[in-house]
Amino acid sequence: MWLLAAWSPEETTGWAATLVPGRTKSREDQQWPKPPPLPEIAEAGDLPAVSGATVLTSRVSVGPGRPYGSARSDAEVADELATSITEVTGVRGGRGEALVRLLADRIAGPYSDVLRLTTAAGASNGPGPREPLHLLHRDTWGSTLRVLLEAAPKVQQPPAFAAEGADGPLRTRIACLMTLLSELLWVDNNTPVTFRFRLDQLGQGDGNRMTEAVRWWAESGENGENVNERGEGEFQTVSAAEFPARLRNGILFNRLWDEDDAEDGEELPDGHLVAFLMDDLSDLLLTRMGEGARIACAGYPSDGAHERITVLLAAGQEAAVLEVDLT
């Protein structure tokens, strides 16, 4: 939701999201062919009261030892949820639409029970006739998540904390991007691609800033057993113009881009969420480090796969590193 807020165009009408985790009975203990008692729903959602609920989807077994099934397909439920999310947020087209679809797919299945709730305080708070979207999601074991999307005077952005300094919002957004990329990119069927980002001061120096950035990275002691054997010779200079494509191609080289329906080595289709995520990550790094930043990369595939991709950016007294683990 934080990333969807960050990706909302300026002209989008305001909206806000509330996410509340909770617990209730497991599916084995209580199936939801119809909504459970309203007081139970209110307790699971940490609400004072619930005035009504309808089942969007639920998994029901017809008897002991029989499999659970749903009367509606996951795709049908996801289509309905994507439409509802779009109506509340006003996010349409491009990367926003791709992210809305991911959210809808994750809520809808494949092991989900979902209720749509109404409460006494369910009236829209913002301009126009938009009704809030109020959901209670339950997994197989009884963990719940209450999701409320509602109109607001402006788009609610992620919280900012003074202790994180001026780069707090940047770090939050980068963390969102890396988390989603790890969920969507896989080394194999069991191992996700993982990402790590750091930003630090290089201190005073009168030498080559990229050489100092490589030394800072190598001496951090967090990059593997043989990190101190690495040097600047392993890194190749990359221009700002070619950096986004190099990052995308390097990560996707011989990798699965989706654990469900991609084949090893298959090209990323146009409009896929992964492409939008990686392009936003590249843009954020370039914008933060400035037009004069020097960029160097190591581990990009040429004749074969590599275990890690490392991107260093140096500008002024600062250095940033993005590490991508492909093992």
167: its two tokens:
């780069």
Cβ–Cβ under 8 Å, residues 152 and 16: yes
What is the model's pLDDT at position 224? 47
What is the model's pLDDT at position 228? 46
What is the model's pLDDT at position 260? 53
Residues of the chain with pLDDT under 50: 123-128, 224-228, 230-232, 254, 259, 261, 302-303
The domains found in the chain, sorted by start residue, are 2-151 (no CATH), 162-325 (3.40.1460)
What is the model's pLDDT at position 245? 86
Cβ–Cβ under 8 Å, residues 17 and 1: yes
Greatest alpha-carbon pair distance for the chain in Å reads 75
Contacts of 65 (CB under 8 A, 6+ apart): none
243: its two tokens:
């950096």
| Among the listed residues 183, 154, 205, the one whose alpha carbon sits nearest the alpha carbon of residue 259 | 183
What is the model's pLDDT at position 269? 73
Cβ–Cβ under 8 Å, residues 209 and 222: no
Q: Give just the sign of the alpha carbon dihedral 231, 236, 240, 246.
A: negative
What is the model's pLDDT at position 255? 58
Backbone angles phi, psi at 298, to 5 degrees: -135, 150
Contacts of 91 (CB under 8 A, 6+ apart): 4, 7, 8, 9, 12, 85, 97, 99, 100
- Residue 199's CB: how many other CB atoms inside 10 A? 17
Residue 312: strand pairing partners: 296, 321
- 108-to-118, 228, 301 alpha-carbon distances in Å: 19, 47, 37
User: Over the stretch 250-294, which tens digit does the pLDDT of each residue have?
Assistant: 777 645 555 454 555 556 777 889 989 999 999 999 999 998 899
Percent of the chain with pLDDT over 70: 85
CA angle 133, 109, 175 (to 5 degrees): 75
What is the model's pLDDT at position 259? 47
What is the model's pLDDT at position 129? 53
3-state secondary structure of 206: coil
User: How far apart, in whole angstroms, are the C-alpha atoms of residue 241 and residue 274?
Assistant: 20
- 257-to-106, 107, 181, 205, 264 alpha-carbon distances in Å: 17, 21, 9, 41, 8
